[in-house]
């Protein structure tokens, strides 16, 4: 029980109801094999390189391997997935959890999402479903996907475009987790998602970007460690540079061809 209590999400999860004692912290997430990028492309897709400098480029699938992505979806029809709200993603929204508890890593957040522990007040003009939910959580070791990218999350701006049109990524900041490794993994995942969904760099935004109507501070200082004085500035520009660095590795002369 003590283990459960110290894992209570803080800050960003401040609306969260208490963890229910029946959920056991062990075993944790049932992991499936890391995801291959080709999974989205069908069995007949093959990868070719074209153009003179194509050989120097990295395959998107190889970048995804570096991300170390696991799929651990919230079961369909349960908790935050009781509501099927389709999405054609046009943005990627970057957050940080502000959950500094020991052990509040990607696995722990995945477990909490699957067990319906991340609650919020459902109200008109506010949270639409009574749960917080986003698509990916990253930490120093891995990324975990909780929601398919064609379903809306509840992580940004209530009924606004941040929720209706963006893929949400939460970066862990639990004690002992390497921030720099988490940022690099997030930048790689973001670059891969840009490639997969044809999302331009200008549409990779911090949570700050989305106004939360009705709140006294509509623009949240999130992800706080990539903001300058609570707003996008030099640090955010640096992060965009990291994303672009990885995006350039996989974009350009390579293409997929369906046979
Ligand atoms: Zn946020």
Inform me whether the pLDDT recorded for 35 exceeds 80. no
Longest distance between any two alpha carbons in the chain, whole Å:
60
pLDDT in tens, 88-106: 999 999 999 999 999 999 9
What percent of the chain clears pLDDT 70, i.e. is strictly above it?
Answer: 75
The terminus-to-terminus CA distance of the chain in angstroms comes to: 54
pLDDT for the residue 12: 41
- Mean pLDDT of all residues in the chain? 83
Beta bridge mates, 70 = 144
Token digits of residue 169 = 């990524």
Answer whether 203's CB lies under 8 Å from 92's CB: yes
Which of 32-36, 69-73, 187-191 comes out lowest in average pLDDT?
A: 32-36
pLDDT for the residue 258: 41
Token digits of residue 192 = 């891969």
Ligand 1 centre to CA of 255 (Å) is: 33
Question: In the predicted model, what is the mean pLDDT of residues 177-189?
Answer: 98
Domains of the chain listed by start with CATH number: 2-258 (3.40.80.10)
Ligand 1 centre to CA of 157 (Å) is: 9
Phi, psi for 123 (deg, rounded to 5): -155, 155
Ligand 1 centre to CA of 53 (Å) is: 39
pLDDT in tens, 103-152: 999 999 999 999 999 999 899 999 999 999 999 999 999 999 999 999 99
Ligand 1 centre to CA of 207 (Å) is: 5
Of residues 34 and 206, which shows the higher confidence score? Answer: 206
Ligand 1 centre to CA of 108 (Å) is: 18
Cα distances from 150 to residues 80, 126, 201, 259, in angstroms, run 14, 22, 19, 25
Q: Is the pTM of this model over 0.95?
A: no
Q: Which helix (H) or strand (E) holds 94?
A: strand 91-96
Of residues 186 and 30, which shows the higher confidence score? Answer: 186
Ligand 1 centre to CA of 54 (Å) is: 37
Question: In the predicted model, what is the mean pLDDT of residues 249-256?
Answer: 67
Beta bridge mates, 255 = 48
What percent of the chain clears pLDDT 90, i.e. is strictly above it?
Answer: 73
pLDDT bucket at 83, cuts 50 / 70 / 90: confident
Ligand 1 centre to CA of 222 (Å) is: 5
pLDDT for the residue 71: 98
Q: Does a cis peptide bond (omega within 30 degrees of 0) precede residue 223?
A: yes
């Amino acid at each position: 029980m003590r283990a459960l209590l110290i894992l209570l999400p803080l800050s960003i999860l401040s609306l969260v109801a208490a963890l229910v004692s029946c959920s056991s912290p062990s075993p944790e997430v049932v992991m499936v094999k890391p995801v291959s990028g080709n999974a989205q492309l069908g069995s007949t897709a093959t990868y070719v390189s074209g153009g003179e400098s194509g050989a120097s480029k990295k395959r998107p699938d190889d970048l995804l391997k570096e991300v170390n992505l696991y799929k651990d979806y919230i079961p369909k029809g349960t908790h935050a997935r009781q509501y099927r709200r389709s999405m054609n993603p046009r943005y990627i929204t970057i957050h940080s959890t502000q959950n500094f508890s020991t052990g509040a890593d990607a696995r722990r957040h995945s477990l909490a999402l699957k067990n319906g522990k991340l609650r919020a007040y459902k109200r008109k003009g506010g949270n639409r479903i009574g749960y917080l939910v986003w698509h990916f959580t990253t930490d120093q070791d891995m990324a975990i996907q909780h929601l398919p990218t064609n379903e809306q999350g509840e992580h940004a701006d209530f009924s606004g475009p941040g929720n209706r049109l963006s893929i949400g990524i939460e970066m862990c900041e639990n004690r002992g987790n390497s921030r720099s490794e988490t940022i690099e993994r997030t930048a790689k995942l973001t670059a891969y998602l840009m490639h997969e969904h044809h999302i331009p760099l200008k549409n990779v935004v911090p949570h700050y970007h989305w106004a939360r109507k009705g709140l006294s501070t509509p623009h949240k200082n999130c992800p706080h460690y990539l903001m300058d004085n609570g707003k996008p500035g030099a640090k955010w520009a640096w992060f965009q540079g990291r994303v672009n660095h990885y995006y350039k590795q996989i974009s350009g002369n390579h293409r997929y061809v369906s046979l």
